[in-house]
Amino acid sequence: MCELLAMSANVPTDICFSFSGLMQRGGNTGPHKDGWGITFYEGKGCRSFKDPLPSSASPIAKLVTEYPIKSESVVCHIRQANSGGISLENTHPFTRQIWGRHWTYAHNGQLKDVHNKLSIKYHIPVGETDSEFAFCWLLDQIHIKYGAQQPNDIELFTYIASLSEQLNSNGVFNIIITNGECLFAYCDNNLHWITRKAPFGKASLIDAEMEVNFNQETTENDIVTVIATQPLTNDEEWHKMSKGQWHLFKLGCSIACGEESNT
């Protein structure tokens, strides 16, 4: 299946270190060779880079690793296609607008026959994937429930958690969603996270010969949370999320979490 990577931080931070490890899994140390994408938020704006080529061989991915774009919210995905052809329109992450903000979503897993089980009206997919269809369905449900009145963060993302649980009943549904302020993660089977804050130490990537001393790159007030399908470093303690568990992060901190009602 695919792999996810995301970041939530309280100060603009680059994700070059983590992305350097993940991109090697896209056709080098891993089989996820069917495209990749990454979205960075800068204020209310965002910029995305996508490529249907394997990330380990993509000149655009190499550019991203060498171009320290600083952001408080990032979503990244490397793809192993199982629904929809290998093409730019089927490459995650997917971005749509709601309530005057860009929402970005990436999915790891497969949903069985979701096109026939669920209906959508307002948000129509561009590509063919079950992943994008699920995103459009999720946004439809938010629109139907709240209309033009955006609720507070906790209420909104608790509702998204309930929608994620419903989607998860159709297969495997590990996701990352962000509106540039909050970053939401829902786990079915594989999702890990780590929060880095003072006192900072060193870390070494699993998939590349690279080490960083975060103490030299940060201040004592920085808080950075990284979420990944599998841990990216071999000398830090990552937290593995359980089935049906979700976390909501804002400015690097977990502000809400929960689990499926039957777990």
- Give whole-number Cα distances, 213 to 17, 97, 137, 216, in Å: 11, 37, 42, 6
Within a 10 A sphere around the Cβ of 224, how many other Cβ atoms?
23
Given a contact cutoff of 8 angstroms between Cβ atoms, the answer to whether 205 and 20 are in contact is yes
Which residue in 2, 46, 136, 187 is the catalytic one? 2
Does the N-terminal peptide bond of residue 93 adopt cis geometry, omega within 30 degrees of 0? yes
C-alpha span between 22 and 3 (Å, rounded): 8
C-alpha span between 93 and 113 (Å, rounded): 21
Contacts of 15 (CB under 8 A, 6+ apart): 5, 7, 38, 40, 69, 71, 74, 76, 226
C-alpha span between 229 and 70 (Å, rounded): 22
Active site residue 2: yes
What is the set of active-site residues? 2
